[in-house]
Amino acid sequence: MTTFISRQMSCALLVFCFSTAIISQAKTTFKTLVSFDGTNGFAPGGTLVQGTDGNLYGTTSGGGKNGGGTVFKMTTAGKMTTLYSFCSKAKCADGNSPEAGLLLATNGNFYGTTKFGGVGPCVIGTATGCGTIFKITPEGKLTTLYTFCKEGGECSDGAEPEAPLIEGTNGDFYGTTFYGGNSNGAGTLFEITPAGELTTLYTFCSKAGQNCPDGSNPNGAILGTDGNLYVTTQGGGGVSSSSAKNLKDCGGIADFFAAPYYGIRRLLYDFCKAYGPAESVGVFYQFFPEKALSEPQSQTLTFYGAASGGGINAAGAIYSLTSGKNLTVVYDFCSKAKCADGAYPVAGVIEGTDGNFYGTTAGGNGNSKCPSLNGCGTVFELTPGGKLTTLHSFAGSDGENPRSTLVQATNGIFYGTTFFGRASGDGSIFSLSTGLGPFVRTVPTMGAVGSTVMILGTDLTGASAVSFNGKAAAYKVVSATEITATVPSDATTGTIEVTTPGGKLESWPFQVL
């Protein structure tokens, strides 16, 4: 599996060009906040997301009242509340097994997917239902927006979504299904309105040629800093395992210029020709949703990915890839004895407010508790230059096998989950402080002049000014954790600054469209 984040190659736009929101590094502090025991869920695999109330929201793929997984919220101090247990309706019509995390939408509600469940049987595999798309309020009221494969047959609308949704600049949501689409069953890319009207934008493995040259089994999408969507697939790409050192079909990375949704594909990199992850990487698409930017931008984008296998030591790697076709291996895991530096980074990396990358490995650290993975996993920090520091090594009693991307809450602390471990073996939620200070986050991360932006943070009561790249903006303090602001007419792309009684807080660069 490969997961990407992106940023623009310009100092004015780099997310590591922070100043006032950052304090110097301090001693790393790790805390286990929640232990899952089945009744409150088990196997949390999705990334946590911060809500407008300052709490963190997430999902567990199993457990809960009905065994179908849960949606929960947790305070940053670790008090957890189960908001919803799936399979609460007959035959799991409300969904079953939410494997992905939630999306906080601009309307303040959360949106997500379940891999199974929904109305009717699933013709792919033996599971009941091919998955759903749902909306859930911060209070826990769930609405099923769409059920996949309702028409049966080849599930032309897709089946079994495993990745989180993305909100486009047009207000619609975008996502992928891992299976379905056509007789090849290689997955789809879709758009869905807040009202639940779904449109299939692309069906993978639909082009002629061996090994699905257009990719197969998409495993997620991101919103690039240029306002466009980028989609990765886990398999396909046209490279056979026989020419890739007995690895699976690894394919490459391509950009996808939609006209209006698809039409032009340009290969950026073919992994297995030189650097093949053990799991298929597939292809990488760019496409322009309606009302987004109308043409490619001139700036170079850089994407940072985590390959869960392959590399020099066959234990995964972190690498960067530019839209100019330049790939750089930033770090090869298992480069130390007994994989003390970690192995198999299943989840992606995030860029912290200090400009370094933070992530987890599902295995490694040399602990004999988890011999099949060379250890129980790690949390790491990686500089852009490739210097890796292991911040925490799991030992089972404090969790094992982290599979979700970390999130940095606006208090500056990182939060994550482990899939297994702790007393019941059902996983955990942890926090890790590296001494980084508070900041503010925007929802969305880009918008046009005159649009409304949510600004999330801590201790925002009494805020006396909000500016977009130095230009004053009209704003309203909603609560201690939320401000709404209007993008001013003279705004340009850059950081948002909020002046509070405790000092000035900055955001990641906000893109003015």
CATH number of the domain bearing residue 122: 2.120.10.30
CA-CA distances (angstroms) from residue 458 to 49, 106, 245, 337, 410? 15, 19, 50, 42, 7
CATH number at 491 reads: 2.60.40.10
State how many domains the chain has.
2
pLDDT at 147: 94
pLDDT at 254: 42
pTM of the model: 0.87
Three-class SS state of 180:
coil
Does 507 reside within a domain?
A: yes
pLDDT at 109: 96
Spatial distance between the Cα atoms of 233 and 213, rounded to a whole number of angstroms: 11
CA atoms within 13 A on the CB side of 241: 10
Name the residue range of residue 98's domain. 48-163
- Closest to 61 measured CA to CA, from 149, 139, 127: 127
The gap from C-alpha 35 to its chain's centroid, in whole angstroms, comes to 23
Domain final residue pick, 163, 195, 226: 163
Does 261 reside within a domain?
A: no
Asked whether the beta carbons of 236 and 252 are under 8 A apart, the reply is no
Asked whether the beta carbons of 475 and 486 are under 8 A apart, the reply is yes
Residue with tokens 């900041």: 439
Asked whether the beta carbons of 282 and 300 are under 8 A apart, the reply is no
Burial per residue of 457-476, b for 16 or more beta-carbon CB atoms within 10 angstroms, e otherwise: bbbbeebeebbbbeeebebe
Does 389 reside within a domain?
A: no
Burial per residue of 191-221, b for 16 or more beta-carbon CB atoms within 10 angstroms, e otherwise: bbebeeebebbbbbbbeeeebbbbbbbbbbb
Residue 504 structure tokens: 């000035």
Spatial distance between the Cα atoms of 370 and 363, rounded to a whole number of angstroms: 8
- Closest to 105 measured CA to CA, from 6, 195, 201: 195
Helices and strands of the chain, counted as H and E runs: 0, 39
Asked whether the beta carbons of 191 and 202 are under 8 A apart, the reply is no
pLDDT at 18: 34
**Side chain identity at residue 411, one-letter code:** N
pLDDT at 299: 56
pLDDT at 369: 81
Does 262 reside within a domain?
A: no
The gap from C-alpha 401 to its chain's centroid, in whole angstroms, comes to 17
Three-class SS state of 12:
coil
pLDDT at 135: 97
Domain final residue pick, 163, 186, 216: 163
Phi–psi pair at 331, nearest 5 degrees: -160, 140
Domain final residue pick, 133, 163, 193: 163
Residue 161 structure tokens: 């979504």
pLDDT mean by block of 10 residues, the chain; 513 residues: 40 29 62 93 92 96 93 95 94 92 95 90 72 96 93 83 88 89 86 92 78 76 69 65 39 39 43 41 39 40 76 81 74 90 88 91 84 88 93 91 92 94 87 94 92 94 94 96 95 93 92 87
